Homo-oligomer: A and B are copies of this chain.
Amino acid sequence: MKFQINRSHLLEGVQDVMKAVSSRTTIPILTGIKMEVHSEGMVLTGSDNDISIERHIPIEEAGNVNIEVAQPGKIVLSARYFSDIVRKLPGETVEIEVGERFETTLRSGASEFNLIGLDPEEYPRLPQVEEKEVLMIQGDLLRQMIRQTVFAVSTTETRPILTGVNMKLEEGVLTFVSTDSHRLAKRIASIDNSTEGLAFQNVVIPGKSLNELSKIVEESSELVHIVVTNNQVLFKTKNTLFFSRLLDGNYPDTSKLVPSESKTTLVLSTKEFLQAIDRASLLAKEGKNNVVKLATIDETNIQISSNSPEVGKVFENVTTQSMQGEELKISFNAKYMIDALKAMDCSDIEIWFTGAMRPFLIRPTEGETVTQLIVPVRTY
C-alpha cells in the first residue's frame, strides 16, 4: 500500500472513528484503526464491538484531490499513536507506505515515523446491513431527540435493558423513551421520509452509543438514514456508517406511568425555575439524595427550599404564571429536575402533579413533543 493524503481530511476521519475505539478492550486488534485504500478512496474503521464506525474519504471532493493512490492496500495501526501523530505532523499532506510485514512509514514535511502495523486480515468484519427498510431523519432533529432523552437512562446494570433508549416507530411517529425507574424522558417526532409501512417497537439502543453518535452527526438538516436489524442498528450519513448493537430483552411498557390528568397544575418560566432549583440544590448535595422541597404558597407563588443541618437552609420564591387545583407540598431529587428542565428547550413549562407521592409530569406549555416524568421522594 502506498498513497498520499490531505492531512486535515485524514485527521478528521481518524478523530471520527476514534470515538468507537476503547483503550480497555480485551481484543488487541481493536486498539487499532483499520485503514483501507482503493481506487475510490479510503475507508477508516474503528470498533469496540458494541459500536463500530466506518468513515469514507473520497479520492476527490468538490474538485479538490484528497488522496493520490500509488498502490491500494490495507493496514491496522495503533489508534492512540496514529491519531496523535496525524494531529502533530508538520505538512499539509501525509505519505503512507506499508511494507510486507505491516511496517508502516508516515512522511510529512521533514518528519518520518516508522510504525509497527497489525495484520488487517485479523480485524473483525463489520455487520452487513441491507438498506431495505430505511427511516430517514434530519441530523439536527436526531441530535435533539438524543439529548432530550439519553440523560435519563440507567447507569447501573441492575436492569441492563434500562441502560438504553427505546426507539419506536409507529404510524409515522418516532418515539425515544428512556427511564432509570426514578424518572422518565420521552420525545416524539413525526417522520415523513421512511419506507412505507415501516414500524418497530422493541429497539433499545445503548445510551453510550447514542452519546457517541451525537458527536458524529452534524447539526444540520442533512438526512441520516437509520436501518434496524435483528441485533444491530445502522446510522448512515454522507461519509459515515455508525453501527451499534441493540440491547437484548423487552423494554417495559412505560405508557401507563404517564398520568393523564392533574390535581395541581403549575405554569412556570423554565429558566427562572431551573435557576431556583439549581441554587436550592447547592445545600441539598450534602445529603445523599440531593432533595429539594416544593410548596405552593398562593396562586402566583411557590417556594423551593432545602436544608442541610450542618450548613444551613435556602428558600427560593418562584413566581408562577398560573397555579390551578389543590395545594401541594412535594419533595424530589434536584438533579433529576435540573436534567429534565435543561432538556425542555422551551421558555415556559407546565407541571402536572397528582399528589405528593405520585410521579409528576413536565411538558412544554405549547406542543407535546417532550414529556418528562419524575418520581417524588418521601419526606413531608
A residues adjacent to B (C-beta < 8 A): 78, 81, 84-85, 88-90, 104, 110-116, 275-276, 278-279, 282-283, 310-319
Q: Is the CB of A88 within 8 A of B311?
A: no
Decide: A282 near B84, CB < 8 A? Known: A90-B275, A275-B90: yes
Q: Is the CB of B279 within 8 A of A318?
A: no
Residues of B within 8 A of A114 (CB): 312-315
Decide: A279 near B111, CB < 8 A? Known: A116-B310, A312-B116: yes
- Pick the residue among B89, B116, B276 that contacts A111 (CB under 8 A): B276
Q: Is the CB of A279 within 8 A of B89?
A: yes
Q: Is the CB of B283 within 8 A of A81?
A: yes
- Pick the residue among B81, B110, B279, B312 that contacts A282 (CB under 8 A): B81
Residues of B within 8 A of A282 (CB): 81, 84-85, 88
Bound CA–CA A317/B276 (angstroms): 59
Bound CA–CA A111/B275 (angstroms): 10
Bound CA–CA A311/B80 (angstroms): 11
Bound CA–CA A316/B319 (angstroms): 66
Residues of B within 8 A of A78 (CB): 311
Closest to A81 in B: B311
Residues of B within 8 A of A89 (CB): 279
Closest to A280 in B: B111
Bound CA–CA A78/B312 (angstroms): 11
A137 to chain B: closest CB distance in Å? 37
Decide: A112 near B81, CB < 8 A? Known: A88-B278, A88-B282, A89-B279: no
Bound CA–CA A60/B187 (angstroms): 52
| Top-3 shortest CB links A-B | A115-B312, A110-B317, A114-B313
Bound CA–CA A114/B307 (angstroms): 9
Q: Is the CB of B314 within 8 A of A111?
A: yes
Closest to A282 in B: B84
Bound CA–CA A319/B109 (angstroms): 12
